[in-house]
Amino acid sequence: MTLSNNNDEINKWKDKYYQSLDDHEKNDRLFQEKESVLSKIVNRLAHAAKGYHYKLDPYLERIQDLVKSSTEIDKLKNELDNFSDALLHLTDDSTDPDNFNDIALLLDFVEQQYPDSTQLHMLQDLREKALHDQTDIDRKSVLKDILEITQQPVIQSDTSRVATAHQIDTEIVSQQLLHLLADTEIPENYTNQATHLKQQLQIGLDSETFKETLEESIELLLDIKQHVLSEQEEIEDFLSSITLQLAELGIHASGASAVSHENAIIRNRLDQSVSKQMLDLHLSSENATKLDPLKQLIKTRLESIAQQISEHQLQEDQQSNETQEQLLKMTSKIQVMESESRDLKYKLQIAHDTALRDPLTGLPNRLAYDERLATESARWNRYKTPLTMIIWDVDHFKQINDTYGHKAGDKTLVIIADLLTSNCRQTDFVARFGGEEFIMLLPDTAKESALILAEKIRAIIEKSGFNAGGKAVSVTISCGITQYLDEDTVDTLFERADQALYSAKSKGRNCCIVG
């Protein structure tokens, strides 16, 4: 009877032991799943951040490579520290040598407005100073210096007479500023101010009004620059925060891995000890000749096994609790990072879409056109399927602006953008190239078919006049059409279509010409 009870007790402890092994294996699987999720998050965040700054890309690539190797924890921690240092030491965009190129172009233009004058010498001195300090150039300071120089009286060296700032060709400067504003991505909170400046620059201005408008334009561009820098600083702060969290998660993962490894060693030792004692019991029972010594031996062995299992269970419970606590912390951190990652992805998507859209018509802008043309050109070079380009230009657009106002001009562009989009296929591409010009890319379309489509659209636009201030506004449009040829590049394709558009204008407008 006693032996039967002892056997039941042994089986009971064995069940507990095997149950503890199952629980530990479940914890191991849970840890591996968490580690896999963490690795994916690190890899995707690194992939999303690539291209933000060229100095950070090498660190991000090495972090991605190390994440793929679960045996490189120490190297990953070191690389995260290196990434943090690089992020903290990123210099401001104002130190970029490209900034000097922008200043140099501006000085070239301004110097042309002051030939043989004291301003020319002052501008040349300013250029030499900017060239000497181009690695630490202050754009705002240079722009203010240029403004102060241009506001001074102009002394011509040939006649020594005094001229005033109104001698500058304000129309040329206005056009240059309009091009600059058109090519600049205007944040939403500066849209009204930019629209007002564009309207001011499009009308004739006297010297005093022009100087005020010029100052407002410079201030607006500087404010937009500061706004972009502040957005970049926000992204830098976010990336820095993510880096610190990744480093902390790496420490937790390393600790959990160490605990798991230690548990495996302890479990193996317990297995060996229990197996040895069970073997000793088996041999003792086979060789026993008397019952009492055998009972005492079994009792002693069972007490030893029970004590070992109990100690192991206590130690394993403690380590399991520690591991569970680390996993909970990691889960919390991962959830926070996932939320921040979604927010950043959403903001980046909005910024990307905004950068590729024309704010007035909602069509893709010139930057989006450049990207799409490169894609279509690569597809043509591979498959040789037809690709046709159409360049559209609104007839007498300046006259519409001057006669009916800029609101009528904007409405004209919006109407034409809608008609171009609604009368082509989903696979076709329509963009506002700039000003009153639009561009179409028609894949899998020969120039003969494109001409039929263009004539249809031209006729529709001809009938799409509207009223402005009680007056009827008639709208017509001309276009140049050309097809991609074997010897073409994107530049020659555009030039041929542009030449065809010029021919359409020369033939009286409101027509389509194939080039």
Q: At which residue do the structure tokens 């963009």 appear?
A: 431
Radius of gyration of the chain from its Cα atoms, rounded to whole angstroms: 38
In 3D space, the residue among 59, 50, 45, 57 whose CA is nearest the CA of residue 341 turns out to be 45
Sign of the dihedral defined by the CA atoms of residues 242, 244, 246, 248, in that order: negative
Write the burial class of residue 137 (CB in 10 Å: 0-12 exposed, 13-18 middle, 19+ buried). Answer: buried
Element (H, E) at 163: strand 162-163
Residue 508, phi then psi, degrees to nearest 5: 110, 5
Contact of 307 with 17, CB cutoff 8 Å: no
Residues annotated as part of the active site: 436
- CA 40 to each of CA 64, 65, 235: distance values in angstroms, whole numbers, following the listed order: 9, 12, 21
Is 372 in contact with 75 (CB distance < 8 Å)?
no
Q: What's the token pair of residue 212?
A: 């005020």
Measured CA to CA, the distance from residue 217 to residue 4 in angstroms comes to: 98
How many C-beta neighbours within 10 Å does residue 301 have? Answer: 17
Closest by CA to 66, choosing from 43, 41, 100, 94, is 43
Place of tokens 């160490």: 258
How far is it, in rounded angstroms, from Cα 300 to Cα 352?
75
CA distance 274 to 255: 29
β-partners of residue 357 are: 364
CB distance 416 to 438 below 8 Å: yes
Quick one: which of 72, 59, 85 has its CA closest to 254? 72
Q: Which of 27, 8, 18, 23 is nearest to 270 (CA)?
A: 18
Task: Indicate if the alpha-carbon torsion angle 249, 251, 257, 259 is positive or negative.
Answer: negative
Which helix (H) or strand (E) segment holds residue 429: the answer is strand 429-434
Q: Which residues pair with 437 in a beta bridge?
A: 393, 434
Residues in the chain: 515
Number of C-alpha atoms within 13 angstroms, CB side, residue 43?
Answer: 13
